[in-house]
């Protein structure tokens, strides 16, 4: 059975289709585009190209395809240029459509390429990881990393549609599945206490009976937030709430070196740090912090750094975070488990440093 929900953004609205085998639906979409005289091209990574060769052939036939290296390092200026040259070599015009098949790296890179090529062409997201299904494929944030920091170059560019085929999860490594669970835990913490309690009672696995329902609920939570604040311009709250755990997590990813931690693993540690910051601000109890640690650990995710990182380096990266406003880092903290708010005032460097130390950072290496 295929379910769908709509991200309502006026003329940029699109549908998210969720099911256990969406190959025929994707085939039909491709056929309609080709029938209308529109060229398509496919971007994926080499792991997906090898593991899902039959599915890719069934969905896209002879459509030109570029397979890039898997991993966060691919979100680079050099690889963006490579994708743009690929689109030009295939002769796509402004009616062309790029289909991204892969995890968050492929969606982010391909989406930014689609936003940039000929000043913008349409693209379709076919996420293949749990993290991409519940988070990065939805909402139109695209981008690449710079030496200075994560996702510092990019564009808001909404997809034409999103096809979430849960069959792709059958070949997903357990570590990658756990990384996606971090984003689902985030949704529970920031806006759905019932979802959080459900994850506490029965940690999500690839064989969970409620997997599709949890994916749909996560998509729904993100869609409603994006609808209210598409470009993250709200003075308080809004789309910035989706960054819960990310201000700490992005610093961890960059200082450790991209690839040391999967994005979801860094976010998981960031959630634990954010819970501690919330406690320091007086909104969470020690028992609440323990609950956050427990649900993160129950999903095979780290709650502390695997190896120490230098506190000065982490703070320097955090100061360059794209969420900084008027020179002040903007944190997402928890008023209670299930309700999050944004804060930039009243948070001291000493408190932030203490939270980093609590998850394993050290003053010097």
Determine the Cα–Cα distance for residues 12 and 340; give it in Å rounded to an integer.
27
Catalytic, out of 222, 276, 280, 291: 222
Catalytic, out of 11, 54, 119, 201: 119
299 is an active site residue: no
Query: Side-chain half-sphere of 58: how many Cα atoms within 13 Å?
Result: 10
Catalytic, out of 39, 151, 243, 265: 243
| Token pair recorded at residue 248 | 């700490």
Catalytic, out of 39, 141, 276, 343: 141
263 is an active site residue: yes
Catalytic, out of 157, 217, 246, 276: 246
Determine the Cα–Cα distance for residues 149 and 160; give it in Å rounded to an integer.
28
Query: Which residues are bridge partners to 99 per DSSP?
Result: 42, 124
246 is an active site residue: yes
Determine the Cα–Cα distance for residues 334 and 340; give it in Å rounded to an integer.
4
Catalytic, out of 150, 160, 263, 323: 263
Instruction: List the one residue out of 135, 178, 142 whose CA is nearest residue 268.
Output: 178
119 is an active site residue: yes
232 is an active site residue: yes
330 is an active site residue: no
Determine the Cα–Cα distance for residues 227 and 191; give it in Å rounded to an integer.
15
Sign of CA dihedral 181, 185, 190, 193: positive
Q: What contacts 218, CB < 8 A, 6 or more positions away?
A: 134, 135, 183, 184, 187, 195
183 is an active site residue: yes
Q: What contacts 199, CB < 8 A, 6 or more positions away?
A: 181, 184, 185, 188, 295, 298, 299
CA 306-311-314 angle, to 5 degrees, is: 85
The whole-angstrom distance between residue 197's C-alpha and the CA centroid of its chain comes to: 22
Instruction: List the one residue out of 30, 52, 264, 9 whose CA is nearest residue 163.
Output: 30
Determine the Cα–Cα distance for residues 86 and 67; give it in Å rounded to an integer.
11
Determine the Cα–Cα distance for residues 60 and 62; give it in Å rounded to an integer.
6
Catalytic, out of 232, 265, 280, 343: 232
In degrees and rounded to multiples of 5, residue 156 shows phi and psi of -85, 115
Catalytic, out of 39, 75, 216, 239: 239
Catalytic, out of 79, 183, 230, 253: 183
151 is an active site residue: no
| Catalytically annotated residues | 119, 141, 183, 222, 232, 239, 243, 246, 250, 263
């Amino acid at each position: 059975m295929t379910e769908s929900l709509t991200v309502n953004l006026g003329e940029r609205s699109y549908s998210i289709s969720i099911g256990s085998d969406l190959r025929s639906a994707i085939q039909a979409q491709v056929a309609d585009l080709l029938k209308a005289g529109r060229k398509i091209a496919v971007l994926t990574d080499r792991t997906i190209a090898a593991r899902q060769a039959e599915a890719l052939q069934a969905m896209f036939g002879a459509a030109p395809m570029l397979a890039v290296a898997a991993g966060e390092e691919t979100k680079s200026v050099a690889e963006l240029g490579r994708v743009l040259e690929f689109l030009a070599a295939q002769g796509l015009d402004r009616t062309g459509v790029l289909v991204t098949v892969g995890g968050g790296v492929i969606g982010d890179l391909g989406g930014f390429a689609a936003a940039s090529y000929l000043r913008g062409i349409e693209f379709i997201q076919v996420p293949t990881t749990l993290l991409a299904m519940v988070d990065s494929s939805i909402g139109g944030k695209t981008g690449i990393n710079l030496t200075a920091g994560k996702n510092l170059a990019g564009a808001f560019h909404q997809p034409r549609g999103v096809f979430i085929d849960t069959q792709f999860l059958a070949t997903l490594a357990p570590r990658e599945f756990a990384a996606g669970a971090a984003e689902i835990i985030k949704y529970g913490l920031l806006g759905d206490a019932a979802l959080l309690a459900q994850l506490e009672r029965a940690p999500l696995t690839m064989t969970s009976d409620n997997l599709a329902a949890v994916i749909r609920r996560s998509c729904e939570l993100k869609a409603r937030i994006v609808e209210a604040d598409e470009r993250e311009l709200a003075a308080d709250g809004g789309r910035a709430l989706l960054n819960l755990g990310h201000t700490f997590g992005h610093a961890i990813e960059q200082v450790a070196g991209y690839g040391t931690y999967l994005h979801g693993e860094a976010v998981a540690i960031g959630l634990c740090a954010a819970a501690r910051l919330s406690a320091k601000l007086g909104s969470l109890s020690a028992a609440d912090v323990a609950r956050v640690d427990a649900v993160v650990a129950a999903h095979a995710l780290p709650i502390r750094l695997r190896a120490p990182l230098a506190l000065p380096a982490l703070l320097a990266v955090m100061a360059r975070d794209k969420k900084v406003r008027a020179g002040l880092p903007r944190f997402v903290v928890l008023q209670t488990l299930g309700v999050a708010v944004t804060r930039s005032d009243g948070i001291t460097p000493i408190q932030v440093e203490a939270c980093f130390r609590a998850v394993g950072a050290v003053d010097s290496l």
